[in-house]
Structure 1
Amino acid sequence: MKWERKIMNRLHVMFVMLIILFSVPSAMAITVDGVRGVGEWDENWAYAQYNASSYNPYASFGDRMVVRQGVYNNPVDLVTDEWNDIDPKDDSGGDFDESMAVNGVAATDYSSGLDVSKIYGHYDPINDILYGMTEVYGIPGDGDGNGEIYSEEPADGDTTAGPAGSGIGLTESWVIRIIQVSTGDSSLILVNANAWTVSSSVGMTNSDVYAHLTSDHFNVANPDDLPKSVYEISISDFSTFYDVSPGEVLAVEVLSGSSGDSSVGEDTAVVFIEIPNPEIHIEKATNGVDADTYEEAPELSLGQDVTWTYVVTNTGNVPLADVEVTDDQGVIPVFQGGDTDGDGLLDLTETWTYEAEGTAECGDYENVADVVGYYGVIPVTDDDPSHYVVSCEPDIDIEKSTNGFDADFPSGPAIEVGETITWKYVVTNTGDAALTNIVVVDDVIGTIGNDKITDKADGDDVLEIGEEWTYIVTDTLEECTPLYKNTGNVTGEAVDDGTVVTDEDPSHYHCKSVVPTLTPVGILAMIGALGILGMVTLRRRD
């Protein structure tokens, strides 16, 4: 059944994914040291305010990113909130400059100083580690705005700046919240005063998290060339706390802000890591009818044009490559269209259509469409049957003749003793269904074997519609029979449903007695004999 095939396909995908997870080396070594090293983080894993051109929602194995600004509250927000691929311009308010960040400077000159620049996320399924990195405009710990965080002095009312070397001010915080979207389970990692505390509904503790904060600074005099704060974390044995099976979604929310900042929500961004769940679906129709079963099948006439339509959709969460559609009855589905962006990948938003054509045959007809697509080296498949019905009436005819005479009725041709008798049996498919297992029997002679066939059209063992087979049997008349009759009988079976059809036809002949041939001498002798016989008869009367 189709649901059983889907289960087996699902198990096959998961098995292949496990093989990949435990056989492919990690694509990148990530060091949690507060520095975004060269080649250490893939741009395609990032959400960035100004480089959205490099944004790729379908990143390397294990990642898919969807981002918005604003606080993530619960799994319902995944549906109800408005999403953005890039940070909305001036989300911190019309009076703020989005390009600059510093704490303790007039709001009319700069943004809040706490906006998230980029978010990077990556789940390493081989080592079972979740990595995260955030780049933030400015350094929340630089309370006095002098470009460094080692000698914090109160400035512009920031009287609660952190101690020298803290790396982050006492009123500033960096918060990560990791949520299992399907359940709402979450862990909150709060970094404050260069330390962190973890509160978790899934059992995660401080010892399970490693975090590092940068000590880079920025130059207020050159706001277009600002190094940014880099915060990194790693969580080992991640699957101990969260479900990372195919299709599961993890929301990672990042806040970088001040406890005294009333608009801290504007400094929040969310990245979603969706575990790959490759799936594909095919729907096949016959002359526009889905026809998964014979009960739904359209009724066609023999020889009618048939068009099979194959509609392929991506029901997973990642694009699929090398999509191929086949049909088990040998027809060749031809791609009609649907690759809207022309990239050769079956995207989530695309529907690909194929068509094949044929001619309706007798009986109950089924063919099954199969489709395969690939996510990396992982194949995903689906199949779908379709049917049609053609009601046909199989029939067969046999015509028997004797020495060229149909002779259905007595007395047929006259044949003398010693002459050759030729019986001819012509078998014709007079129905609208191909026939097989053709057997010809004569009620006197017995079975007429295929070695007696002298004409068999295309030479196969199927008596096609309108096709004729001819059998010839010869014999010599050895004894005179006044009237002779024999009957030819034929049976066959319809190829499509095994219906047995039969027909018979008689033929006759009669035997002609041998009359002696008289020569002229013989005739005279016979006349003389008759004369003598007559004279003898007359004398006796006297």
Structure 2
Amino acid sequence: MNVNPGDNRFCVVTNNDIGAPIVVPPVPPLIDVVKVPSPLALPNGPGSVMYTYTLKNIGTVPVTNVTMVGDTCSPIVRISGDVNNDNKLDLTETWAHTCTTTLTSTHTNNVVATGWANGLSATDIASATVIVGVPAVVPPLIHVTKVPNPLALAAGGGIVTYTEKITNPGTIPLSNVQLVDDKCAPMQFISGDINGNNLLEPTETWAYTCQSNLKTTTTNTAIASGQANGITVRDFAIATVVVAEAAPILPVTGFFSAEKTPWVFAILSSVFAAAVLLYTIRNKKNI
């Protein structure tokens, strides 16, 4: 562009080197609860049972607003675990709760643990059965945990590896152990059956893995089951992986559309008209 003395020119500069904004997804919480009744059986009939609940943070962020709700036993009282007394379930803490009730017949009790972090909730469910009035029958227990890696993905998603572990918090071995996941298959057994007898012993931890390609935020549930003494037991593990939403489209730079941005066009037109008027006045003074 050539500019002569006294000339006025109007230019629009387009900045096209702005990168797309990066959307950082929030990391979801992850909690795990185990419930064990004592005793597991009341062979002589009705009696008192104390449930012990062990709550852990198996994620990567502290968890707040933790609640424990049982369907047939209350109140559930925390007795230990909050080491620094901040009411946050930290990564290094294990919270212990108890609840006592009287059972008059064979009964299955459920508890739902919930916690929050980064505006997201985590839930875990535990159940246990106590046999009442049946001699020489002890019910089994089973427990499963699930940990995704990673817990959060950038926009577009990616591969997530789930590590799932089954343990036996009861007193008798479990047979016919199975693990299914509603949104990840196949489940691959990695290790844990130390003596190779296909029974999940109270001292064993069976590990499995599964991979999934996630494109959107996904919550999935794993179900572990096993049998002993003619009784089938189940446990659930729930985990969420957050996938960030796509970055918003950047606004158009450079010349504006009069239809989409009429106010901008009007301002630019006024500026251009003023520049032309100023140029005309200056030229007349030089005549």
Q: Per the shorter chain, which TM-score range? A: 0.3 to 0.5
Q: Which structure has the higher relative contact order (CA within 8 Å, separation 6+)? A: 2
TM-score (ref. length: structure 2) = 0.39
Q: Which structure has the larger Rg over C-alpha atoms?
A: 1
